[in-house]
Chain A
């Protein structure tokens, strides 16, 4: 039987199309139940006697759901107890249309055999197909189709069918048709054996149904927003909540030249937007514009309604001196980007209460109100919670409990939390990925050796940090007869193993980068490749992609050649070992000569680079000594930098630049490059101001000027000053980004930090996917490999860059978070006084950096009653108390400890020790630890 589905649609060009789809109805679609002997099905999925006990429906029954239940109550459906559910095709298609992640999840459930979920293709069944009637909306038709299928089942089977829907109208119509229908919460409540399910119930309350005073303005409907954006009344942007102040946020506006960042202040203006949402904003009139407050505000636990206006008033305090920023308010939400959040439960003060607050780990996310009866067991655990809705009358978003991760403070749990929070894909590699790996034992085939240059006769060695197993670069250097020097950089040939389009390629492209945590590495490619076949281990033949230069004695490039090669590294060195070989005058073997040659050239290269304006920046980096048994950190050291570090770095830079030039020449439209935009002058304002306070002038006109003035900025009484200035300068910088050469004018290719007109990443293909792509491009350009369509497609490369930039940033954040976690573990058993330096002065706090641990934190200057012995001088950003003045860069001594007052939420606390402020600073608990750290001020 044939029906046609007819609908009209508007095309992008604006013309109207009538679309006709043929739709065939069949009589051979089976019900999927084991009890049925009419249908000729092979393997029925629905069980003969479903066991789920419900108070409402004591007979065995199957469940039919509507679309909204699948969309919003997925966490319930995923629970193992819920079985024998019929998912109608109508529902499935609507879910697919509305939410891709939800569709994926329901598809996953459908494949689990034990769940007994059955898809009934009701749209094609001759008895359950319904046609849309005149005047009926698409939703009403779907609801009718669901009821139709439910009644068909009821007549077809002896087993009872229960329709679960939260739509009141649908439920009433169902009851008229003689169908048993319940709301989700009614039904879940009735499952007497599994009370814990109630926790997973998504709290969805529409604005209309709940009472109470509305605390927020209404959101505009989407159609109105779109019209407003078109007319320019509203602007669209992504909402970025402030880390330090929960009543403040920025919206980065898409596609507006005039305003790129708009400030939003106060809970009314923030209007229930959550970090990451795409929102529509309206600018306030210029007289209402404001500037970011320098206050650090966190949502406190006991805070009540009346408290909020006060705080908002503080925010609004007139600050005439500071230039005002464009300020706006959120008028509507275009797209919610809610995800699952990790965090801890803050149990309600009232015992026996089921309503609790959830405190997310991410500080930019509001607390979430959830309902749970397992508060006792969840206390002290890291849990995952989902936001369901945020009605106008609720101070907090409403959510539900998803799952528990493990005890707070447990390292495995905390690692999991930080991987989840940074969206790092960390599941083990799937079978399809692993099946792409070459078979072991792996050998270089004849084919390979024919096409590659054999460089096994060269004395190549690798220099890496200690304990490195994914060695992706090796070097050599030898004198040529004509007085020039040949230098080779040999990079693991990962693109030989990862072929385009394979499962392993897709997985690597998705992961984008290897993520390094303190005690864990999340590989981009499976270990067999990263630590064995691709790793350029010593005394083993390995495939490589080599860059060979002929350099003059003055380190000028005379010739450069790229080739796929076979190499055999003589020795794998650590930076320290390499340094020792260079310094050991007795060693005259080829490796030692080679290293000395490299070192000499590297110094020349570095000098050239710095002369052309490259910046030397600093960021506090630390190394933990981990106890081999407890895996707890026992000591912290800042990373030492030797000549050899910079030696390897120089040649990697040189290789990257040479490769970038080559691939850009061959593929002007689709080369994957890396750029570092010059920061706008306004970015430098804080450091210029900070340096001025110490009587120093910084010139930031060009990179070169900045580099020079940074070098000159020294303070005799503060040896750490220069490093701090560099740390602060680092924060003024823009993010370096991957991009596709065809998407930007050539002038924008510049790498500001390295002061080179073009740059890319070529040297670490084991841990970065960008390098894999660059390898492929280079291989095509030298004729060593075939191209494939996606490689030269500008749009594809652009999309890939977007993902790589995101993963890269997340990996960085995850790494930093891991350091933070270990720092916290380290201080678990310690209370130490340390030297620190003030990075910023805030209105009620000092932002202090402790170089020894690379640790940053706030020293709050207020006590519990919000009184401060200090007065804040905003103009000069100085905190004064009597004769004591504390400003930027000043040395302080702080006591570092863990605040355990809240068992669940331990946090690092800094207290002022020096300068002594009677009644405020804490007494010294012993001298700062004896080991003086080496400070890198170069």
Chain B
């Protein structure tokens, strides 16, 4: 058994990725990732809203995915909608747990005001392994997000007033240390590969999408494809996913830190580069 794939990678190797954050200035945070031909842009907008009644002291995170009709011929017309819903569903599931994001931090006034993070995902080009790349981009964009600090004044009658700091640097961050990434493990023959190329995707009958944090916590799991998986191989695939997920999350986090250290004077590639 040789651990080598058509393009020379081993089974648990990702392809080369290009990542840039802060690419859309009028968002609270943004990131763009290119992996092979897959191109994903994510923008995060923080807005004030009323907390959900069942979670009065928490903020929210909401995902919206838009598949550009240019991304692949399949998305023509309304073709991309189903795919987009699929992506946003798995993202919501992966993030829907107490551990990954500290949503309590997003609460401004319990029962009255909280921050809602609207995560807008744009699939600009579809070149395989979209789920994984989207999740990386979301993580990077959240890392880049700056939420303005708000001070709350309360008067004697219990009415409150929000005051916004006039210093644009006075803001708080989102801790992405425990947020999940999606790792798709594809079963091809007897092998489990991650980051399947277009060709590999074509000959894969069953794959498992796993939401995994750097701490190897599985937050979501979903099986896809027409083929069936026996419990044994599901277990194996999860183990692979955990291993890869831990590594990829750690690398991503490290790279994000490195980029931030470059400071505001880093050269921006943007969309022209």
By a beta-carbon cutoff of 8 Å, the part of chain A in contact with chain B is 4, 6-10, 14-16, 18-20, 132-138, 227, 230-233
B117 to chain A, nearest CB (A): 13
Interface flag for B38 (CB, 8 Å): no
Please judge, given known A-B contacts A137-B167, A231-B156, whether A4 and B25 are in contact too, CB under 8 Å.
yes
Interface flag for B226 (CB, 8 Å): no
Please judge, given known A-B contacts A4-B25, A8-B148, whether A15 and B164 are in contact too, CB under 8 Å.
no
User: Which of B159, B161, B164 is A8 in contact with, Cβ under 8 Å?
Assistant: B164
Residue of A nearest to B153 (CB): A227
Interface flag for B152 (CB, 8 Å): no
User: Which of B46, B156, B157, B159 is A16 in contact with, Cβ under 8 Å?
Assistant: B46
Interface flag for B236 (CB, 8 Å): no
Interface flag for B27 (CB, 8 Å): yes
Chain B residues whose CB sits within 8 angstroms of the CB of A4 once the complex forms: 25
B47–A16 touching, CB < 8 Å = yes
Residue of A nearest to B27 (CB): A18
Instruction: Report the bound CA distance from A136 to B170 in whole Å.
Output: 10
A231–B155 touching, CB < 8 Å = yes
Chain A residues whose CB sits within 8 angstroms of the CB of B159 once the complex forms: 230-231
- What 0/1 pattern do residues 148 to 181 of B give for CB contact below 8 A with A? 1010010111010110101111000000000000
By a beta-carbon cutoff of 8 Å, the part of chain B in contact with chain A is 25-28, 46-48, 148, 150, 153, 155-157, 159, 161-162, 164, 166-169
B269 to chain A, nearest CB (A): 15
A16–B148 touching, CB < 8 Å = yes
A-B pairs with lowest CB-CB distance, top 5: A134-B169, A20-B26, A231-B155, A8-B148, A20-B25
B155–A227 touching, CB < 8 Å = yes
Instruction: Report the bound CA distance from A227 to B26 in whole Å.
Output: 32
Tell me if B's interface is mostly helix, strand, loop or mixed: loop
Chain A residues whose CB sits within 8 angstroms of the CB of B166 once the complex forms: 7, 137-138
A135–B167 touching, CB < 8 Å = yes
A10–B25 touching, CB < 8 Å = no
Chain A residues whose CB sits within 8 angstroms of the CB of B26 once the complex forms: 18-20
Please judge, given known A-B contacts A15-B47, A231-B156, whether A6 and B168 are in contact too, CB under 8 Å.
yes
Instruction: Report the bound CA distance from A138 to B167 in whole Å.
Output: 8
A-B pairs with beta carbons under 8 Å apart, 15 shown: A6-B25, A7-B168, A15-B47, A16-B46, A16-B48, A16-B148, A18-B148, A20-B25, A134-B169, A137-B167, A138-B167, A227-B153, A227-B161, A232-B157, A233-B156
B164 to chain A, nearest CB (A): 5
Instruction: Report the bound CA distance from A7 to B166 in whole Å.
Output: 8
B27–A15 touching, CB < 8 Å = no
Residue of B nearest to A14 (CB): B48
Please judge, given known A-B contacts A16-B148, A231-B157, whether A135 and B169 are in contact too, CB under 8 Å.
yes
Instruction: Report the bound CA distance from A20 to B146 in whole Å.
Output: 14
Instruction: Report the bound CA distance from A187 to B255 in whole Å.
Output: 56
Instruction: Report the bound CA distance from A10 to B157 in whole Å.
Output: 23
A-B pairs with CB below 8 Å: how many? 53
Chain B residues whose CB sits within 8 angstroms of the CB of A231 once the complex forms: 155-157, 159
Residue of A nearest to B155 (CB): A231
Instruction: Report the bound CA distance from A613 to B260 in whole Å.
Output: 82
Besides A6-B168, A18-B148, A232-B157, 11 other CB < 8 A contacts? A4-B25, A8-B164, A10-B162, A10-B164, A14-B48, A16-B47, A16-B150, A18-B27, A18-B28, A20-B26, A231-B155
B169–A230 touching, CB < 8 Å = no
Residue of B nearest to A131 (CB): B264
A8 to chain B, nearest CB (A): 5
B119 to chain A, nearest CB (A): 15
A230–B155 touching, CB < 8 Å = yes
B179 to chain A, nearest CB (A): 22
B162–A14 touching, CB < 8 Å = yes
Instruction: Report the bound CA distance from A15 to B26 in whole Å.
Output: 15
B40 to chain A, nearest CB (A): 22
A835 to chain B, nearest CB (A): 61
B153 to chain A, nearest CB (A): 7
Residue of A nearest to B150 (CB): A16
Residue of B nearest to A7 (CB): B168
Chain A residues whose CB sits within 8 angstroms of the CB of B153 once the complex forms: 227
B162–A132 touching, CB < 8 Å = no
Chain B residues whose CB sits within 8 angstroms of the CB of A227 once the complex forms: 153, 155, 161
Instruction: Report the bound CA distance from A8 to B27 in whole Å.
Output: 11
Chain B residues whose CB sits within 8 angstroms of the CB of A16 once the complex forms: 46-48, 148, 150, 164
Chain A residues whose CB sits within 8 angstroms of the CB of B47 once the complex forms: 15-16
B114 to chain A, nearest CB (A): 12
Chain A residues whose CB sits within 8 angstroms of the CB of B48 once the complex forms: 14-16
Chain B residues whose CB sits within 8 angstroms of the CB of A136 once the complex forms: 167
Choose among B26, B27, B153, B162 the residue with the greatest number of A CB atoms under 10 Å from its CB. B26
Residue of A nearest to B158 (CB): A231
Instruction: Report the bound CA distance from A135 to B168 in whole Å.
Output: 9
Instruction: Report the bound CA distance from A230 to B160 in whole Å.
Output: 10
B8 to chain A, nearest CB (A): 41
Residue of A nearest to B147 (CB): A16
User: Which of B27, B148, B168 is A132 in contact with, Cβ under 8 Å?
Assistant: B168
A205 to chain B, nearest CB (A): 28
Chain A residues whose CB sits within 8 angstroms of the CB of B148 once the complex forms: 8, 16, 18
A227 to chain B, nearest CB (A): 5
Residue of B nearest to A132 (CB): B168
Please judge, given known A-B contacts A16-B46, A16-B47, whether A9 and B164 are in contact too, CB under 8 Å.
yes
A296 to chain B, nearest CB (A): 42
User: Which of A8, A230, A233 is B168 in contact with, Cβ under 8 Å?
Assistant: A8
Instruction: Report the bound CA distance from A16 to B159 in whole Å.
Output: 19
Chain B residues whose CB sits within 8 angstroms of the CB of A134 once the complex forms: 167, 169
Chain A residues whose CB sits within 8 angstroms of the CB of B155 once the complex forms: 227, 230-231
Chain A residues whose CB sits within 8 angstroms of the CB of B157 once the complex forms: 231-232
Residue of A nearest to B46 (CB): A16
Instruction: Report the bound CA distance from A417 to B264 in whole Å.
Output: 59
Residue of A nearest to B171 (CB): A8
Chain B residues whose CB sits within 8 angstroms of the CB of A9 once the complex forms: 164
Instruction: Report the bound CA distance from A350 to B169 in whole Å.
Output: 57
Chain B residues whose CB sits within 8 angstroms of the CB of A14 once the complex forms: 48, 162
Chain A residues whose CB sits within 8 angstroms of the CB of B167 once the complex forms: 132, 134-138
Residue of A nearest to B49 (CB): A15
Chain B residues whose CB sits within 8 angstroms of the CB of A8 once the complex forms: 148, 164, 168
Chain B residues whose CB sits within 8 angstroms of the CB of A233 once the complex forms: 156
Instruction: Report the bound CA distance from A232 to B169 in whole Å.
Output: 35
A404 to chain B, nearest CB (A): 43
Instruction: Report the bound CA distance from A7 to B168 in whole Å.
Output: 6
Chain B residues whose CB sits within 8 angstroms of the CB of A133 once the complex forms: 169
Chain B residues whose CB sits within 8 angstroms of the CB of A15 once the complex forms: 47-48
Chain B residues whose CB sits within 8 angstroms of the CB of A6 once the complex forms: 25, 168
Chain B residues whose CB sits within 8 angstroms of the CB of A138 once the complex forms: 166-167
Instruction: Report the bound CA distance from A138 to B170 in whole Å.
Output: 13
Chain B residues whose CB sits within 8 angstroms of the CB of A10 once the complex forms: 162, 164
Chain A residues whose CB sits within 8 angstroms of the CB of B46 once the complex forms: 16
Chain B residues whose CB sits within 8 angstroms of the CB of A19 once the complex forms: 26
Instruction: Report the bound CA distance from A19 to B28 in whole Å.
Output: 10
Instruction: Report the bound CA distance from A6 to B171 in whole Å.
Output: 13
Instruction: Report the bound CA distance from A20 to B24 in whole Å.
Output: 10
Instruction: Report the bound CA distance from A138 to B166 in whole Å.
Output: 8
Chain A residues whose CB sits within 8 angstroms of the CB of B25 once the complex forms: 4, 6, 20
Instruction: Report the bound CA distance from A132 to B264 in whole Å.
Output: 12
Choose among B153, B156, B167 the residue with the greatest number of A CB atoms under 10 Å from its CB. B167
Instruction: Report the bound CA distance from A6 to B30 in whole Å.
Output: 15
Residue of A nearest to B154 (CB): A227
Chain A residues whose CB sits within 8 angstroms of the CB of B162 once the complex forms: 10, 14
A892 to chain B, nearest CB (A): 56
Instruction: Report the bound CA distance from A4 to B24 in whole Å.
Output: 11
Instruction: Report the bound CA distance from A137 to B122 in whole Å.
Output: 36
B141 to chain A, nearest CB (A): 14
A257 to chain B, nearest CB (A): 18
A5 to chain B, nearest CB (A): 9
B162 to chain A, nearest CB (A): 7
Chain A residues whose CB sits within 8 angstroms of the CB of B150 once the complex forms: 16
A903 to chain B, nearest CB (A): 55
Choose among A9, A18, A19 the residue with the greatest number of B CB atoms under 10 Å from its CB. A18
